[in-house]
Amino acid sequence: MSEFDLVLPTAVDVREVGMRDGLQLEDPVPLAGKLAMLEALVATGVRRIEVTSFVSPKAVPALADADEVAAQLHRFDGVHFSALVANPRGAQRAVDAGIAHLEYVVSASDSHSRANAGRSTADAVGAIGEIAALASGAGGSLEVIVATAWDCPFDGRTPVARTVDVTRAAVTAGADALCLGDTIGTTTPVRVVQLLDAVRRACPGTPLGVHFHDTRGTGQANALVALQAGVTQLDASVGGLGGCPFAPGASGNIATEELVYWLADAGVGTGIDLDAVLTAAAATERAVGHALPSSLYRAGGPNAPRGPFGTRDGMQP
């Protein structure tokens, strides 16, 4: 090993969030289109999929069919399906629909918390125990995703101590795992490592993942340094779709195919087939009806299908 070799884990657990984060800003996609997208994603080999969100259909009309999507999950074997919830009511809906593995979002900044969930950060933290009990009682688990962990579109930079306080309170209240969200895609590699170190010190032994948006082109660099810092759980969205309805300027997540591409080249296992992800990106593009932001999808892999809006091997559609 030379002094310039990257030190990376041998395997990474990628959670596909295109069905939820990827679609929440889109015009509602018919159930048939979502199921075609889901079938293609399952075929990639990914083993964790955040499949929908049980939130107000008025607030997020694109995910108003959460119950209908959940009713179709019995068709797919070997996949850990989860759903995002915004309050205990949504958690109960998810459990009743048969999804017991939950992600609950708590914004580290008060302004985003009020815009996203209609309550303060403290009030959002106060609901963690009830949601954890619902998930546990149904044989599931609760992961608390800390939104605006680095920056808020309203309040500016989020103090590290504030994010750490939220993560510590979440674990105390019963969270099984944590995830740090760069909601508006503003953080940088140095700040990623700083916050990861602080959270690990506050919550030793708690599984910790990251959720990066690529708004300013730093998402994959942030993913790389997170892996170098020992994180092995990453969120990504097929085609790079995504964004927060309640965070002005937020754009897509890091693209699953781009993440898998460089991880495979580095010898890091994901269990995900790159060509199959590109096929899933084509299905996603058909479902949403517009071009995807992923650079790799537009460029095309060696066996990449050409979607109706995508490019391949330098050719224009």
- Contact of 260 with 288, CB cutoff 8 Å: no
State the DSSP string of 143-168: EEEEETSSEETTTEEPPHHHHHHHHH
List alpha helices for 97-159, DSSP H.
110-117, 121-126, 128-137
CA distances from 113 to 50, 96, 106, 195, 307 (A): 21, 26, 7, 20, 37
Residue 239: which of 63, 65, 40, 27 has the closest Cα? 40
Angle (CA) 50 218 256, round 5°: 35
Reply yes or no on whether 244 is catalytic: yes
Which residue among 152, 179, 203, 244 is the active-site one? 244
Strand segments (E) across 3-92: 13-16, 48-54, 80-85
Phi, psi for residue 257 in degrees, rounded to 5: -65, -35
69: CB partners within 8 A, 6+ apart: 19, 31, 34, 35, 38, 51, 52
Which residues are known catalytic residues?
244
